[in-house]
Amino acid sequence: MDIRNSVKAIIISEDKVLLTKNQDNEGFFYLYPGGGQEHGETFHHALIRECLEEIGHSVEIGKLLHIREYIGKNHEYSAFDYHVHQVEYYFVCNLMNEINNHTKPTNPDAKQVGIEWIALNELHNYRVYPRGLSNYIKKYNDGKQTQVYLGDIN
């Protein structure tokens, strides 16, 4: 099986993080905007494209904050993710302009129903994936040093 690269945006403003809101048979779940790198595409080009597709906004890309692996067979959704091995690169990003109610994603994911700002101290109350990333994001926002490579977390 191939290993897939994915790039993700961590967009924080006023102690809130911008996430895509998705829905499945268990209810709502949230993801960091971003997605798979296409052949011939740099990480930055992929992340700019994915943010336009999922949140409808251009982003300014900052530093690489975290690298996370997802090896599907090791996690709760292994029944349908067994063969997935994805390496995700999380970059700190800033929106190039303000979000308003008229901006629409250009190509949202199949289960995506919107976007939502969620308070960092409330992330534990939501089904956010990867779950293990939330504590690292809070530490980063508090100015604390965090590790870059997070391993195979979900």
Query: Which pLDDT tens digit goes with each residue over 99-154?
Result: 766 678 888 899 999 999 999 999 999 999 999 999 999 999 999 999 999 999 98
Whole-number Å distance between alpha carbons of 7 and 74: 21
Predicted pLDDT at 104: 80
Into how many domains does the chain fold? 1
Over the stretch 53-88, which tens digit does the pLDDT of each residue have?
A: 999 999 999 999 999 999 999 988 888 889 999 999
| Residues of the domain holding 97 | 4-152
Of 122, 103, 92, the closest CA to residue 54 belongs to: 103
**The domain that contains 77 carries what CATH number?**
3.90.79.10
